[in-house]
């Protein structure tokens, strides 16, 4: 998906008009429409404001990530994990991998 269609889809999911989104990010609805039609590309600063307004990461908005993290607790935990020493990360990921494996096994037996 391209940035224009991603903006359109997310904006509609949030129930925002182009004017609403434009007001939030500091531009006009007409400019938002031009972004959505890909007539112009938003600057990094504006794209970041759009991502924030639509509650997605900038990576998701521009198509570099296919997962939307909306749960702030998951984001906070991910940030905490990033600061951990490598050995502790490895132990944590072993536990997480085991839980995921067990969950997938339960699903396959249903």
Q: Are 14 and 54 in contact (CB under 8 A)?
A: yes
Q: What is the pLDDT of residue 69?
A: 67
Please give the residue that has the higher pLDDT: either 78 or 90: 90
Q: Are 35 and 4 in contact (CB under 8 A)?
A: yes
Alpha-carbon dihedral angle through residues 36, 40, 41, 45, given to the nearest 10 degrees:
-100
pLDDT digits (tens, 9 = 90+) for 46-69: 999 999 999 888 888 998 877 776
Q: Residue 109 gets which letter from DSSP?
A: T
- The phi, psi pair for 7, rounded to 5°, reads -60, -45
Distance CA 40, CA 45 (A): 14
For CA atoms 61, 62, 64, 66, the dihedral sign is positive
Burial category of 61 from C-beta neighbours within 10 Å (exposed 0-12, middle 13-18, buried 19 and up): buried
pLDDT digits (tens, 9 = 90+) for 18-52: 999 999 999 999 999 999 999 999 999 999 999 99
- pLDDT surpassing 90 at residue 71: no
- pLDDT surpassing 70 at residue 89: yes
Full-model pTM: 0.69
- pLDDT surpassing 80 at residue 110: no
Helix/strand/coil for 98:
helix
Please give the residue that has the higher pLDDT: either 72 or 32: 32
């Amino acid at each position: 998906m391209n940035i224009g269609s991603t903006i359109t889809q997310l904006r509609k999911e949030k129930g925002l008009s182009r004017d609403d989104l434009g007001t939030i990010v500091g531009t006009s609805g007409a400019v938002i429409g031009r972004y959505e039609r890909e007539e112009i590309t938003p600057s990094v600063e504006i794209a970041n404001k759009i991502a924030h307004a639509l509650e997605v990461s900038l990576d998701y908005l521009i198509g570099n990530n296919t997962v939307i993290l909306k749960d702030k607790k998951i984001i906070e935990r991910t940030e905490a994990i990033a600061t951990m020493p490598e050995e502790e990360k490895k132990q944590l990921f072993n536990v997480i991998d085991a839980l995921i494996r067990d969950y997938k096994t339960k699903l396959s037996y249903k």
